[in-house]
């Protein structure tokens, strides 16, 4: 239920086809809208056996099934799922399917921000010792069912888990053997009734761990720190501020501390990522690596070679005196706040804006006043909220251009505004993208194209 365009559901369908399952695929989008996913399925063996119901759902499709796999975006209170539950038909998501089929131990990473970077870092470090280690899950490049058949019992797969994945796992009383929570910040309040409900969805990652399991929590985030009180697993932390059991910073070094044993892992200067938030991601990854038994030498080498992920405060290059950064996956004010905090100068040209997720923009407005010399706001409900907060902090109206209806126009205006001194051009929307783009990755790719096209002109 819900084929979508991100690839996760298509991977599930392909895997089930290999096992010769009898499949019905239904989605409210029509065949034209789903062309990208449907083209992937056409190439799969036995694809001709799939029954499709597209552009609508039909109740008949839901009452004669052995199993229903629900995709992200499908509301839990759907009348079709309600009917299936009343008939005793199990409803799962791809994470529940993966955990039910894979018999080895799993590292699960969740959090409002940083989970993709942390997951990828853990994967890079583990690959130095575990050659068939994989990363999969919510991260856009690798759905879980794509990797399932490649794993051995000792692969330690790293899964990026969204709150939606975790809701399904909680229903089936499943938690990973190593659980990591990077942070819990305000997000997705357009989907959850309140912040407490969203926080509880994240806490599900530790809820069904056992005594022999591990949980790695952010000691600097009050909500993740609270998760330790209900954890049955052995708790480790990471912190930018204080010495704890786990990984922390002191005297320009990354340390790991456990049972009176303090180890120097690597100098902070060897970390290639921008921003304090990325240092926290490094500490989380180092903690997991130590728990899995990776040597300090391998940790230092892997972290030192890691330059970050696409579209996450990613340095693209220079256009004369303008350093350009693509941070298009920043869909919340907290994320853009972290990006701005990574810059010491108060000469950032910022392109932001989009659709609201019922979040608070006041703190971001204060930081924009400190750091942003020129602001270009794409049209959208989040932009309107931010404008109100900017007025409260008295950000000069002459420094911003609002209601820009295309990213191309915002890019052009931003380039023209650059001065003759060193500046940074940052694309960090602080909002969702659905009013203009399919998702945040589409806007990220367009920003890259605009940069490279401009580079060619020069």
pLDDT tens, position by position, 125-141: 999 999 999 999 987 57
Angle between helices 35-42 and 8-18 (to 10 degrees): 20
Q: Does domain 8-92 have CATH number 3.40.50.720?
A: yes
Q: Do domains 8-92 and 95-304 have the same CATH topology?
A: no
* Contact criterion met (CB below 8 Å) for 375 and 450: no
CA gap 224, 341 in Å, rounded: 21
> From its phi and psi, is residue 454 left (phi > 0), alpha (psi between -120 and 50) or beta?
alpha
Residues 106-118: pLDDT tens digits? 999 999 899 999 9
Q: How many CA atoms lie within 13 A of 308 on its CB side?
A: 20
* Contact criterion met (CB below 8 Å) for 448 and 316: yes
Confidence of residue 457 (pLDDT cuts 50, 70, 90): confident
Residues 197-254: pLDDT tens digits? 888 889 999 999 999 999 999 999 999 999 999 899 999 999 999 999 999 999 999 9
How high is the mean pLDDT of the chain? 94
Among 344, 349, 346, CA closest to 327: 349
CA gap 414, 403 in Å, rounded: 14
Tell me how long the chain is: 458
- Which residues are 109's β-sheet partners? 160, 180
SS3 60: helix
Q: Which two tokens stand for residue 110?
A: 């969740």
Alpha-carbon separation of residue 271 from 153, 219, 253, 275, 305 (angstroms): 32, 21, 10, 10, 8
Name the fold adopted by 95-304. 3.40.1190
**Number of other CB atoms surrounding residue 21 within 10 Å:** 14
Residues 260-319: pLDDT tens digits? 899 999 999 999 999 999 999 999 999 999 999 999 999 999 999 999 989 999 999 999
Among 337, 238, 249, 253, CA closest to 291: 238
Name the fold adopted by 314-457. 3.90.190
**CA dihedral for 347, 352, 356, 357, sign (positive or negative):** negative
Q: Residue 250: what are its φ and ψ, rounded to 5°?
A: -160, 135
CA gap 255, 286 in Å, rounded: 9
CA gap 44, 13 in Å, rounded: 9
Q: Which of 245-254, 340-349, 399-408 has the lowest mean pLDDT?
A: 340-349
**285-311 as b/e: b if 16+ CB within 10 A:** bbbbbbbbebebebbbbbbeebebbeb
**232-248 as b/e: b if 16+ CB within 10 A:** ebebbbbbeeeebbbbb
Q: Residue 448: what are its φ and ψ, rounded to 5°?
A: -60, -45
CA gap 184, 435 in Å, rounded: 26
Domain edges within the chain: 8-92, 95-304, 314-457
Q: Is 332 exposed, middle or buried (0-12, 13-18, 19+ CB in 10 A)?
A: buried
Single pTM value for the model: 0.89
Q: Which of 65-69, 164-168, 344-348, 391-395 has the lowest mean pLDDT?
A: 344-348
């Amino acid at each position: 239920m819900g084929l979508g365009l991100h690839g996760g559901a298509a991977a599930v369908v392909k895997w089930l086809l290999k096992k010769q399952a009898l499949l019905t695929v239904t989605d409210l989008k029509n065949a034209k809208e789903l062309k990208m996913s449907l083209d992937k399925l056409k190439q799969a063996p036995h694809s001709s056996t799939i029954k499709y119901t597209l552009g609508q759902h039909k109740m008949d499709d839901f009452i004669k099934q052995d199993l229903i796999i629900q995709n992200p975006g499908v509301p839990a209170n759907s009348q079709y799922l309600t009917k299936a539950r009343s008939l005793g038909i199990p409803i799962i998501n791809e994470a529940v399917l993966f955990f039910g089929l894979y018999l080895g131990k799993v590292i699960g990473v969740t959090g409002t921000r940083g989970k993709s970077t942390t997951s990828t870092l853990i994967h890079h470090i583990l690959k130095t010792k575990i050659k068939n280690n994989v990363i999969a899950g919510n991260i856009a490049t690798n759905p879980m069912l794509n990797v399932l058949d490649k794993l051995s019992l000792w692969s330690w797969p790293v899964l990026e888990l969204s709150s939606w994945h975790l809701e399904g796992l909680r229903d089936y009383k499943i938690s990973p053997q190593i659980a990591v929570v990077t942070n819990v910040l305000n997000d997705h309040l357009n989907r959850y009734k309140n912040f407490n409900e969203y926080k509880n969805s994240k806490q599900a990652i530790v809820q069904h761990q056992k005594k022999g399991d591990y949980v790695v929590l952010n000691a600097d985030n009050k909500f993740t720190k609270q998760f330790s009180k209900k954890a049955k697993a052995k708790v480790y932390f990471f912190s930018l501020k204080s010495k704890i059991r786990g990984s922390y910073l002191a005297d320009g070094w990354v340390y790991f501390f456990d049972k009176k044993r303090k180890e120097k892992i690597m100098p902070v200067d060897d970390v290639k990522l921008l921003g304090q938030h990325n240092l926290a991601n490094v500490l989380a990854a180092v903690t997991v690596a130590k728990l899995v038994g990776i040597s300090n030498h391998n940790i230092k080498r892997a972290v030192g070679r890691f330059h970050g992920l696409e579209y996450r405060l990613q340095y693209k290059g220079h256009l004369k005196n303008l350093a350009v950064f693509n941070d298009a996956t920043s869909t919340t004010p907290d994320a853009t706040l972290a990006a701005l905090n990574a810059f010491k100068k108060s000469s950032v040209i910022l392109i932001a804006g989009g659709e609201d997720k019922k979040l608070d923009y006041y703190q971001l407005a204060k930081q924009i006043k400190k750091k942003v010399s020129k602001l270009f706001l794409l049209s959208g409900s989040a932009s309107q909220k931010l404008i109100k907060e900017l007025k409260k902090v008295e950000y000069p109206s002459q420094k911003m251009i609002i209601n820009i209806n295309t990213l191309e126009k915002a890019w052009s205006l931003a380039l023209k505004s650059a001065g003759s001194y060193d500046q940074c051009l940052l694309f960090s929307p602080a909002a969702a993208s659905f009013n203009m783009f399919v998702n945040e990755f589409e806007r990220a790719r367009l920003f890259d194209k605009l940069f490279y096209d401009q580079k060619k002109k020069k």
